Amino acid sequence: MMSDYGLLGIYILFAIAIPASMLLMPWALTAIRVKPQHPDSVKDDTYECGMRTVGGSWVRFNFRYYYYAISFLVFSIETVFLFPWAVHARKLHWFGFSAMVVFIAIITIGLVYEWRKKALDWS
């Protein structure tokens, strides 16, 4: 029977080999001429459901959407940390309570900072 470290080594080997093969396979198939390589302007054109595109493919994107996305991620991760604490709040006593107060204070400081910088305003 294999030791635990042997199984871990096999797992790490597969974890490296599979993504590496996925990255190197297109290059190798092109090098041995399995994959045809015929550049064409039609192939480089932006495709939109069979219809001709209007304008360029690069458009300006409002960066404020990222603020909302990052804020959503921060607060959803906060709930991931708060839920186990709420389940075991009685066992953690004052240490757990003070740790969560500090954690919530840090998150609240971040929210106040966003609010003052007007990152959440759309006007």
Q: Where are the domains of the chain?
A: 4-116
Closest by CA to 32, choosing from 40, 44, 24, 21, is 24
Tell me, which fold does domain 4-116 have in CATH? Answer: Methane Monooxygenase Hydroxylase; Chain G, domain 1 (1.20.58)
In this structure, how many other beta carbons lie within 10 angstroms of the beta carbon of residue 71? 15
The model's pLDDT over 73-116, given as tens digits with 9 standing for 90+, comes to 988 999 998 998 889 888 988 998 999 999 999 999 988 998 89
Q: Report the Cα 55 to chain-centroid distance in Å.
A: 30
Contact 82, 74 (CB under 8 A): no
DSSP letter at 57 equals S
Q: Report the Cα 115 to chain-centroid distance in Å.
A: 24
**Is pTM beyond 0.95 here?**
no
CA dist 19 and 25 (Å) reads 10
Q: What is the pLDDT of residue 106?
A: 93
Greater confidence (53 vs 8) lies with 8
- Give mean pLDDT, residues 55-67: 75
